[in-house]
Structure 1
Amino acid sequence: MKILLSKNIKTTLTTSFMSSLIYACTMPFMIIYLAKHTPTGTAGIIVILNVAVSFLAGIIGGYLADNHQRKRILFVFQTLYAVGLLTIVFNLSGLLAHINWLVVGYFICGAAYNFYTPAYSAVVLDSTTRENRKKVYQYEYWIFNLSMAIGASIGGFAFKNYLLPLFIGAVFMQLIVTLFLQMNLRYENKIMDRKDTKVIRHLFSTYAKVAKDRRWLMFVVGMALYQAAEFTMGTYTGVRLSKEFDMIHLFNIAIDGVRMLSVLQVINTLMVVFLTFLLTHITAGLKEKYVVFFGLLIYVTGYGVMATANSITLLVPIMVIVTIGELVATPLLSAREVDLIPDDKQASYLSFSGLSFQFAQLVAGFALTLGGFVSAFYISVYIIVLGVIGVLFVSISLYHRKHQKTNPEATSRI
């Protein structure tokens, strides 16, 4: 049966593609840039501080999305994201030459993104129906990875010689994306009439209620621990490859460590683009909980091994295997996640879920700092052990019978 998508869904999917493209060709390479211009340990601390700022922004963003018009929130903080990119442009151009200005721009981008993401996620969820929700999240996953492939390719090959033009282009594209969303999104959310003016107290009481949902808390912690495995590609593994990978030539193109990182990301994303729906079809008849568990197990183990690998003949096959694990598990996970969210607390739950992204970045940032003191082998162990714990948490929270909802439709899909 053909599933029709509303204009709002088409608009948000288009915006998701462009926003992810902007991120993919800029932010991951900022970490490598910082590592080149500061000691490795300092770069790791900057990443961790950025995560802390983003963490607070995510909490506040979820509260704002539940209590204010989400479309307005998107406009304000997507514009602020452009300001962060512009600050980085001023640093790279020499107008604000001190490295601290680049760090400020990096922090602004991290905070702005997390201020508006809960609102964006709630808009997407509100725009879907039970009939098209799973398909929409599959499309979003597919589009996200396509944009990441294109962005990684652009960023990897522009990093060494065209970094300033890259960020100038990102500023203009971010402004275009912001205007496009405002002009095409037809959306207005209900806001609860609340007499309590003590905003801070209400904010923390809202998240305290979410945190009391033990099943959701376990799910979020598990998500953070297993996602950290992939995030180490952009922190520890990316920085290590930029320093240790011996340059090779493929088809007369020089491939250094930074470009090798881009090649791996492109392989990952091209597989996602061309194989997502095929692998979803192949695994459709299998038990969902086993597909998710073993898919994620392959995923975290592969990224852990890549933290020590320096050979293209090892890195590429591992990335292929890792991506297969990702493809069979992630779309199922995204669709299952929304079944756990109460209708009246969508943005708060989604924002709390978004904290897994921040915690994962924190774990990955700590790997970069830790890498200044221990060998790559111990970083691999660190990634795999935490990742396996995360996989267990996610599997238990979603599929353990003790925690299952008494929803026959949800149970029948397990």
Structure 2
Amino acid sequence: MKEFMALNNNLKLRMLTVFLAVMLSSSVGPNMTIYYAKYFGAGITGVLLIVVSALGFVAGLYGGHLADVHGRKPIMVAGSLLTLLGFAIAAAMNSPLGRYPIPTFFGFLIAQVGGAITSPAEEAMVIDVSTPKNRRYVYALIYWIINISVMIGAALGGWFFRDYLFELLVGMIVVTIINLIIIQFFMTESFTPDHAVSGSVWQAVRGYLGVLSDHRYDWYLIGMVLSGIVTSQLGYYLAVHLGDDFQTVRLFGIEIYGQRMLSGVTLINTAIIIPFMSLFTSLTKRWSLKRAYSVGMLLQTIGFALACLFSTLWPIVICAVILTIGEMIVVPPSQTLRADLMDPEKIGTYSGAFSTVNPLASILAGASVTISAFLGSYGMAALFMVLGILSIVVVVHVIGMKPTRPTPPIE
């Protein structure tokens, strides 16, 4: 508690806004795929999701640049206003008067673009007001809060999405307004922008070309894409493997089949992170970034690789525990390293560049499902081990690289 009270006020408020936003978005967002599939069919739904991802990708890049040009708060406010507009449209189109799926899609598209614009500015503000000394604690705490809010949000969505979508969307409007008030009236600007820099698209392109010239950060992004391919497999090959090969069993009178086992892995993950995240952060806080990333990523990789080989309950449970322990060890140092590598004058642009990691990793993770038809489960386990170890090698290489500009030493 003492460490929390010593944090910058912006960070404390950020914890609150993260909790509220993630709780409500996780109650509705994941279920929208089911909504779209019901009204548009699976084929069109896939196209719509690609459109959302593509526009979010571009919005994140541009939002990162704007956060360096105009400061963090104006972009966070502008993105929140867009999000509010999107949710208002979606709520109006799913009121007791009727449901209109096409306007609903555009409402959520606007909301997600607003969120994508806001995200790099929020990330930049966290880095601005944290210090190298407390940054690992800050990221661990945010990660813990996100897990709690996702768990609560998933429960809300599971119980209320089908019959009370309008009420959930009204709740999202209220939460967005609360967050907007917090940002506008209670947070302080954490960055003084260089007003000589333009917010034009061409200037944004030049800014990202500058990021690409920072080879340490380029290699870090590569390492994160490699790790992302492995750690996102719950939504890709591992889901297919459990769906096809898992041996159904009854536990305490409940039938556990492939899809439920997949959800079970997520529940085990969250159930361990919430009570034990602070413990693992404390146990590893004196570890170097190199050691923490290597041990954590190796455990995650082993957990995912072994899960490809098993098809019964308890071995999968053990794999879930292993990969979760790895996750608790690796997430704070990975995020701390990212912050340490950024140019303090271009944190927004660097954060925008990082926003490309998840889309790229998701595309390649999706390709792994196709590859699995040729490699089989043992081949996929071997592939994940190779990718995880490559990620460790790349990140360790990054930590040892000579900086291209004056920066504090990274241990």
Q: TM-score range by the shorter chain?
A: 0.7 to 0.9
Are the equivalent residues in 2 in contact too, given 1:397–1:403 (CA < 8 A)? no
AA matched with 1:111: V
Q: Hey, what's the Cα distance between the residues in 2 that align with 1:48 and 1:387?
A: 29
Cα separation, 1, equivalents of 2:259 and 2:147:
19
Paired residues of 1:295 and 1:325 also in contact (CA < 8 A)? yes
Pair 1:402–1:231, CA change in 2 (3 A): closer
Aligned residues of 2:10 and 2:188 also touching (Cα < 8 A)? yes
Q: How does 1:156-175 map to 2 (within 5 A)?
A: 156-175=158-177
Contact 1:230 1:303 in 2 (8 A): yes
Equivalence for 2:394: 396
Distance 1:69 1:408 in 2: 22
How do residues 8-407 of structure 1 correspond to structure 2 at under 5 angstroms? Answer: 8-35=10-37, 40=42, 42-93=44-95, 97-187=99-189, 189-194=191-196, 199-234=200-235, 263-284=264-285, 288-300=289-301, 302-303=303-304, 313=314, 315-364=316-365, 385=383, 388-389=386-387, 392-393=390-391, 395-399=393-397, 403-405=401-403
Deviations, residues 245-267 of structure 1 (Å, cap 9, x unaligned): 99998778898987765554333
1:16: how far off? 1.6
Using a 3 Å threshold, how does the CA distance of structure 1 residues 82 and 7 change in structure 2: closer, same or farther?
Answer: same
Alpha carbons 2:310, 2:316 under 8 Å: kept: yes
Distance 1:352 1:227, change over 3 A: same
1:20 and 1:395 map into 2 onto residues whose CA distance is 33
Structure 1 residues 214-249: Cα deviation after superposition (integer angstroms, max 9, x where no partner): 221121132133224444435676699899999998
Distance 2:44 2:134 in 1: 46
Deviations 1:9-56 (A, max 9, x none): 111121122122222222222234445655555444433332211110
Q: Are the equivalent residues in 2 in contact too, given 1:15–1:177 (CA < 8 A)?
A: yes
Once the two structures are TM-superposed, the CA of residue 352 in structure 1 deviates from its matched residue by: 0.8
Identity %: 27
Structure-2 change in CA distance of 1:320 and 1:303 (3 Å): same
1:410 maps to 409
Report the Cα distance in structure 1 between the residues aligned to 2:87 and 2:30, rounded to whole angstroms.
Answer: 13
Specify the code of the residue in structure 2 equivalent to 1:322.
L
Counterpart of 2:63, as a letter, is G
TM-score (norm 1): 0.81
SS of the equivalent of 2:356 reads helix
Q: Is the 8 A contact 2:290 2:399 kept in 1?
A: no
Q: Which amino acid aligns with 2:353?
A: F
Compared CA separation, residues 148 and 213, structure 1 to 2 (3 A): same
User: How many angstroms apart in 1 are the aligned matches of 2:154 and 2:102?
Assistant: 25
SS in 1 for 2:85: helix
Measure, in 2, the Cα distance between the counterparts of 1:144 and 1:209.
32
Of stretches 134-143 and 329-338 in structure 1, the one that deviates more from structure 2 is 134-143
Shift of 1:7: 1.5
- Whole-angstrom distance in 1 between the partners of 2:101 and 2:238: 23
In structure 2, how many angstroms separate the alpha carbons of the residues matched to 1:329 and 1:214? 22
Alpha-carbon spacing, 1:254–1:161, altered in 2? closer, same or farther (3 Å): farther
Between 388-397 and 59-68, the greater mean CA deviation after superposition: 388-397
Question: Residues 70 and 120 of structure 1 are in contact (CA less than 8 Å); yes or no, is this contact kept in structure 2?
Answer: yes
TM-aligned CA distance change 1:131 to 1:376, over 3 Å: same
Q: TM-score, normalised by structure 2?
A: 0.82
1:216 and 1:397 in contact (8 A); partners too: no
RMSD: 3.9
| Distance verdict in 2 for CA 1:232–1:282, change over 3 Å | same
Q: Deviations over 1:147-204 (max 9, x none)?
A: 222222322344455444333322322222222232211225312131768x222110
- Higher RCO (Cα < 8 Å, 6 or more apart): 1
Structure 1 residues 109, 164: closer, same or farther in 2, change over 3 A?
A: same
Per the alignment, do residues 38 and 270 of structure 1 end up closer, same or farther by CA in structure 2, a change over 3 Å counting? same
CA contact (8 A) 1:229 1:384 kept: no
The one-letter code sitting in structure 2 at the alignment partner of 1:392 is L
